[in-house]
Structure 1
Amino acid sequence: MQNNSYNNNNARGAKAGLLNEPLHKVENRKKYCRFKKNGIKYIDYKDPNFLLKLVNEQGRILPRRLTGTSLKYQRKVAQAIKRARHIALLPFVGDMLK
């Protein structure tokens, strides 16, 4: 019979102690909806400076998980950005908007 003894911490080739550590640090900062906090009911599609805060460098709409916007206002933001794009206040795509 063979002796199949091995260290459980190093069973799959991982260094001991690294199995329980996270791969990257995650900030647990509380995200909030800026529209609820400031009492904004209407998102003006004619204000491109405000809408630029909600799109990334390529012109894509930032997701809720990054902005902290609630579902109700995320839908309104998306509609406002699409309207602003349609009347050429915002570009559909951009190489470096910011």
Structure 2
Amino acid sequence: MNADQLSAKLSAIASPQRMRVLALLSGERLHVSELARRVGMSRALLYMHLTKLEEAGFVAGHLEMSPDGKALKYFELVPFTLTLDAQTLVDAVAQTTNESEKTDA
């Protein structure tokens, strides 16, 4: 993972609201309306947070039909491990530097 990718991952979870969404989804998959109720925010605002989390690879969304024919968007946690220590930063910067050198050559 290069520095830009690491930065995007960290940015995606650098919000108490998004951390709460991840915590709720760690126990079960939920549809957007239920998740919005549990976190106490509008669905529009929740979708903004979910989009950022989905783009970073932390959650996945799926449309499903309910028994009464309504389309429900469910989200679930994508299993992940993110280690943040000095070595992770050194490796990310080194990879970015290597990629830049290849591009410049």
TM over 0.5: no
TM value normalised by structure 2: 0.30
Higher strand fraction (1 or 2): 2
TM value normalised by structure 1: 0.31
